[in-house]
Structure 1
Amino acid sequence: MQLSHGGEPSPTGVPMARWSVEQVLALAPDAASRKAAVRLGAAGPWSGTGSDATGAVWGLCEGSGSTPYRTVVDTTGPAYACSCPSRRFPCKHALGLLLLRTSDDIAFRPAEPADWARTWLADRRARAARKGGPAGDASPRGTADPAAARKRAERRAERVTGGARELEQRLADVLRGGLAATDRSEYGVWEETAARMVDAQAPGLAARVRELNAITGSGPGWPVRLLEECGLLHLLDTAWLGRDRLPDPLAATVRTRVGLPMSAEGPPVRDRWQVLAQYDTPDGRIVARRIWLYGRGSHRTALLLSFGAAGRSPAQALPVGVTIDAELTPYPGGGQLRAELGEQFGATPAAGPPPGIAVAAAPAVYGNALRDDPWLDAWPVTLRDVIPVPSKDGWQVVDAHAESAAALPVAPAALSRPGLWKLVALSGGAPVTVFGEIGHRGFDPFAAWGPGEGEECEGVMGSGSVVRLI
Structure 2
Amino acid sequence: MAKPASWPESGTVAAPEGATSAVWGACKGSGAKPYLAAVHLDGAGGPAYKCSCPSRKIPCKHVLALLVLWAQEGVHTREEHPEWVGNWLSGRVERRKKAEESTAAPADPKRAAATLKAREEAVESGMRELRLWLDDQIEAGLAEAPKHGYGHWDRMAKRLVDAKAGAAASAVAALPAAIRSAHWPEALLERLSLLHLLVSAHEAGDALDAPTRAAVRARIGIAVKAGEVLSEGERVRDTWRVLGLRDAPTEDGQMTARRVWLHGEKSGRTALFLSFARLQEGPRAPFRAGTEVEAEFAFYPDGHRIVPVADTAARTASPPEGTTVAEALDVCAAALAADPWRDTWPVVLAGAAPAHDGRWYMATADGAALPLDTDAPWTLLAVTGGHPCTVAAEWSPRDGLTPMTVWDREGRVHPL
Structure 1 length as normaliser, TM-score?
0.64
Residue 407 of structure 2 corresponds to residue 445 of structure 1: no
Task: Tell me: CA distance 1:245–1:18, structure 2 relative to 1, closer, same or farther (3 Å).
Answer: farther
Task: Tell me: CA distance 1:405–1:52, structure 2 relative to 1, closer, same or farther (3 Å).
Answer: closer
* Contact in 2 for aligned 1:184/1:216 (Cα 8 Å): no
In the other structure, the counterpart of 1:230 is: 192
Residue 356 of structure 2 corresponds to residue 390 of structure 1: yes
Q: CA deviation at 1:244?
A: 2.8
Q: CA deviation at 1:52?
A: 9.4
Q: CA deviation at 1:188?
A: 1.4
**Distance in 2 between the 1:172 and 1:443 partners?**
34
Q: CA deviation at 1:293?
A: 1.8
In the other structure, the counterpart of 2:64 is: none
Q: CA deviation at 1:285?
A: 4.8
Q: 2:217 aligns with which of 255, 258, 268?
A: 255
Q: CA RMSD in A?
A: 3.1
**Distance in 2 between the 1:191 and 1:248 partners?**
32
Residue 161 of structure 2 corresponds to residue 202 of structure 1: no
**Distance in 1 between the 2:284 and 2:390 partners?**
30
In the other structure, the counterpart of 1:152 is: 115
Q: 2:334 aligns with which of 360, 363, 368?
A: 368
Q: CA deviation at 1:183?
A: 1.0
Q: CA deviation at 1:298?
A: 2.8
Task: Tell me: CA distance 1:321–1:253, structure 2 relative to 1, closer, same or farther (3 Å).
Answer: same
* Contact in 1 for aligned 2:290/2:319 (Cα 8 Å): no
**Distance in 1 between the 2:180 and 2:386 partners?**
40
Q: CA deviation at 1:342?
A: 1.9
Q: CA deviation at 1:310?
A: 7.0
- Identity in percent: 37
* Contact in 2 for aligned 1:290/1:305 (Cα 8 Å): yes
**Distance in 2 between the 1:369 and 1:48 partners?**
47
* Contact in 1 for aligned 2:234/2:300 (Cα 8 Å): no
Q: 1:191 aligns with which of 136, 154, 166?
A: 154
Q: CA deviation at 1:186?
A: 4.0
Q: 1:351 aligns with which of 317, 333, 340?
A: 317
In the other structure, the counterpart of 2:309 is: 342
- Superimposed CA distance per residue, residues 94-123 of structure 1 (whole angstroms, 9 cap, x where no aligned partner): xxxxxxxxxxxxxxxxxxxxxxxxxxxxxx
* Contact in 1 for aligned 2:271/2:305 (Cα 8 Å): yes
Q: CA deviation at 1:368?
A: 1.4
In the other structure, the counterpart of 1:467 is: 414
* Contact in 2 for aligned 1:359/1:386 (Cα 8 Å): no
* Contact in 1 for aligned 2:263/2:270 (Cα 8 Å): yes
**Distance in 2 between the 1:309 and 1:75 partners?**
23
Structure 2 length as normaliser, TM-score?
0.72
Q: 1:425 aligns with which of 373, 382, 390?
A: 382
Aligned partner of 2:178: which letter? I
Q: 1:377 aligns with which of 333, 343, 357?
A: 343
Within a 5 Å distance, the mapping from 1:281-292 to structure 2 comes to 281-283=248-250, 284-292=253-261
Task: Tell me: CA distance 1:238–1:19, structure 2 relative to 1, closer, same or farther (3 Å).
Answer: farther
Residue 342 of structure 2 corresponds to residue 304 of structure 1: no
Task: Tell me: CA distance 1:303–1:74, structure 2 relative to 1, closer, same or farther (3 Å).
Answer: closer
**Distance in 1 between the 2:387 and 2:88 partners?**
60
- Superimposed CA distance per residue, residues 54-104 of structure 1 (whole angstroms, 9 cap, x where no aligned partner): xx627xxxxxxxxxxxxx9555446xxxxxxxxxxxxxxxxxxxxxxxxxx
* Contact in 2 for aligned 1:285/1:311 (Cα 8 Å): no
**Distance in 2 between the 1:375 and 1:389 partners?**
30
**Distance in 1 between the 2:112 and 2:90 partners?**
28
SS in 2 for 1:242: helix
Aligned partner of 1:374: which letter? P
Q: CA deviation at 1:153?
A: 1.3
Aligned partner of 1:407: which letter? A
* Contact in 1 for aligned 2:181/2:187 (Cα 8 Å): no
Aligned partner of 1:328: which letter? F
**Distance in 1 between the 2:279 and 2:372 partners?**
33
**Distance in 2 between the 1:388 and 1:300 partners?**
28
- Where relative contact order (Cα < 8 A, 6+ residues apart) is larger, the structure is 1
Within a 5 Å distance, the mapping from 1:81-230 to structure 2 comes to 136-137=104-105, 143-219=106-182, 221-230=183-192
In the other structure, the counterpart of 1:57 is: 95
